[in-house]
Amino acid sequence: MIEIISESKCIECNMCVSVCPTNVFDKTANGIPVIARQSDCQTCFMCELYCPADALFVDPNPEPQSKLDEAELERQGVIGGYRAVVGWAVNKKKSVS
Ligand code: SF4
Ligand code: SF4
């Protein structure tokens, strides 16, 4: 389920708003979209794949998580990391084990 929009990484392109098949995001006046309808998320990863700034994190767990730590996820290199997993981008922070 979509969990995080990183405000420090988002470049306000609204690509996530456009590609989400279930209209989870809303545009905002300040430019950074909001997760407006999280429960409508289908965990399809499309938003994370298309985000050019690696600013989104979709958790593989389809249930909402309450204790995710953005800083820790960033340290792990998993915010936006799905793009690298499927070969859409090179995520230099992602470790391969
Ligand atoms: S994972 Fe899919 S359904 Fe969920 S917010 Fe992203 S694009 Fe929308
Ligand atoms: S696709 Fe990424 S950079 Fe663009 S608005 Fe959405 S979160 Fe921000």
**Average pLDDT of the chain, as a whole number:** 91
Tell whether 40 is covered by a domain.
Answer: yes
Tell whether 93 is covered by a domain.
Answer: no
Ligand closest to CA 51:
2
pLDDT at 84: 87
| Contact between 80 and 55 (Cβ < 8 Å) | yes
Q: pTM for the whole thing? A: 0.89
What pLDDT digit, counting tens, does each position of 59-94 carry? 999 999 988 999 999 999 999 999 988 998 765 554
Which residue is closest in CA terms to ligand 1's atom 8? 20
| Contact between 68 and 4 (Cβ < 8 Å) | yes
| Contact between 48 and 82 (Cβ < 8 Å) | yes
Tell whether 46 is covered by a domain.
Answer: yes
- Spatial CB neighbours of 67, under 8 Å, sequence gap ≥ 6: none
Residues facing 35 on adjacent strands: 25
Measure 75 CA to ligand 1 centroid, in angstroms.
Answer: 23
Number of domains composing the chain: 1
Residue span of the structural domain in which 79 resides:
2-86
Tell whether 42 is covered by a domain.
Answer: yes
Tell whether 76 is covered by a domain.
Answer: yes
CATH number at residue 77: 3.30.70.20
Question: Ligand 2: which of 3, 4, 11, 26 to mutate, judged by most atoms within 8 Å of the beta carbon?
Answer: 11
Q: Is the dihedral of CA 29, 38, 75, 90 positive or negative?
A: negative
